[in-house]
Amino acid sequence: MLTDEMRRMTDEGLGFVATVNADGTPNVSPKGTLTVWADDQLVFADIASPNTSANLERAPAVEVNVVDPLIRRGYRFAGTAVVHRSGESFERGVDLYERRGTSRARERIRAIVVIDVELARPLRSPAYALGATEDQLRTTYARQLLGGIDDGR
């Protein structure tokens, strides 16, 4: 289900996980550890996400948005999550993050959250409908990030 571009975007873009708090209010949390787990699964490490993990243990429905901020494009993934606090999936996840260079992964990771992706859809800025190109958006937003610094072009 996850295409090569979806995989690339998940590894390189900014990921946000949306859940529902116990009181019914929304919870959106950025995830710097979000990556692909399998052909139809995503994963992230709970390093500082106690609310997100607790929400998913109570109500496993989840949506993940992954966005490249320079080109204003990405993907929406909807599915269900399982929180692993021990066992084989937990150990496999900790090993994954150790290999990826997560500092002190074994002592910092509280849970590994595996998401079964049931629906994947593109996410695009309305600027594309107005005729903007990826290169134009990249140039515009890179300039904004640089704060007007002349990049030599």
How do residues 36-77 score in pLDDT, each as one tens digit?
A: 999 999 999 999 999 999 999 999 999 999 998 888 889 999
Residue 148: pLDDT band with limits 50, 70, 90: low
Question: 4-126 maps to which CATH number?
Answer: 2.30.110.10
Domain residue extents for the chain: 4-126
What CA–CA distance (Å, rounded) separates 57 from 38?
21
For the segment 84-111, the average pLDDT, to the nearest whole number, is 96
* Averaged pLDDT score across all residues of the chain: 91
Report pTM. 0.87
Which pLDDT value is given to residue 11?
92
Q: Which amino acid is at 85?
A: R
Using pLDDT thresholds of 50, 70 and 90, give the confidence band for residue 152: very low
